[in-house]
Amino acid sequence: MEMKNSEDIRNLPVGVFDSGVGGLTVAREIFRNLPNEKIIYFGDTARVPYGNKTKETIIRYSKQIANFLLSQGVKAIVVACNTASALALNELKDSIDVPVIGVVEPGARAAAAATKNGRIGVIGTEGTISSGLYSEFIRKIRPDCQIFGQPCPLFVSLVEEGMIDDEVTITMIHRYLDHMIENDDIDTLILGCTHYPLLRTVIAREIGDAVTLVNPAYETANALKALLEHKDLSNDTSFDLSDHSFFVSDGALKFQQFASSVLELDIQNTKLKILE
């Protein structure tokens, strides 16, 4: 294969993947913070959710998607899915030769920096919480911290149903989170699932402003920026929306509707890609 010079490599897109639509919260932060980067997004909508699947399955799916993104010529890969970041990131890093980052470490770093009383809550899928990876990264930086994990599986469906400021969602926020506020005395809460940043305003209103909310999607866009700069991979030409590509493994039209609301942009040309 013909070698690309470093300028060509800088012009290549960044691959971003998730189990489905949720990773668009990460794409949104990349668009805001790295306007010169073109992305190729893959949402595994045929196989979502990842949150209740085994590590072996998540590793297999993640490797398939990473290989597809590599076949599209990406210069780096962002694992936007918290569950895949928690269960498959090390295996991906070992098996592919472009830089790969996940959302867990940037989120953990921000929480360790934000907490004053050292008591941090983490919410996410079953897979993310039982992996213990957020705790592991936080304790590497702040061994004094206590971390309290809570799976909140229903939040994913509520967000996908558009039930953001809805009485059912508000009931679930209190059911999942009140004990962290009242008994565990957390002062920082990591929104450790792709969908949860879309509930940020409602969660903040319901649990009060004594708790700092950490958005790993935002932190990951910053980490990507630092990584690309460090590796001399940053692009310096700007892009239009039509330069970005979106692929899903099922239901392109439904994806486009959700994407258009999350990104506040009209995504027209999502392509179907079935992975085997």
Query: Looking at the annotation, which residues are catalytic?
Result: 81, 193
d(CA 156, CA 258): 13
Shorter beta-carbon distance to ligand DGL: residue 198 or 228: 198
Any contact of residue 22 with ligand DGL (CB under 6 A)? yes
Residue 44 CB, nearest approach to ligand DGL (Å) = 8
Any contact of residue 82 with ligand DGL (CB under 6 A)? yes
Any contact of residue 107 with ligand DGL (CB under 6 A)? no
Q: Which of 74, 80, 76 is nearest to 62 (CA)?
A: 80
Rounded-to-10 torsion of CA 222, 49, 164, 114? -30
Any contact of residue 102 with ligand DGL (CB under 6 A)? no
Any contact of residue 270 with ligand DGL (CB under 6 A)? no
Site track for ligand DGL across 136-175, x = CB under 6 A: --------------------x-------------------
Any contact of residue 18 with ligand DGL (CB under 6 A)? yes
Shorter beta-carbon distance to ligand DGL: residue 29 or 75: 29
Task: Give every CB contact of residue 92 below 8 A, 6+ residues apart in sequence.
Answer: 62, 63, 66, 77, 79, 100
Q: What angle do helix axes 55-71 and 82-95 make, rounded to 10 degrees?
A: 60
Residue 9 CB, nearest approach to ligand DGL (Å) = 29
Assess whether the previous peptide bond of 35 is cis (omega < 30° from 0): no
Any contact of residue 106 with ligand DGL (CB under 6 A)? no
**Token reading at 148:** 């309290």
d(CA 111, CA 134): 10
Residue 156 CB, nearest approach to ligand DGL (Å) = 5
Site track for ligand DGL across 187-226, x = CB under 6 A: ------xxx-------------------------------
> How many CB atoms are located within 10 Å of the residue 125 CB?
28
Residue 217 CB, nearest approach to ligand DGL (Å) = 9
Any contact of residue 251 with ligand DGL (CB under 6 A)? no
To which H or E segment does residue 41 belong?
strand 39-43
Q: What angle do helix axes 82-95 and 133-141 make, rounded to 10 degrees?
A: 80
Q: Interface with ligand DGL by CB under 6 A: which residues? A: 18-20, 22, 48-51, 81-83, 124-125, 128, 156, 193-195
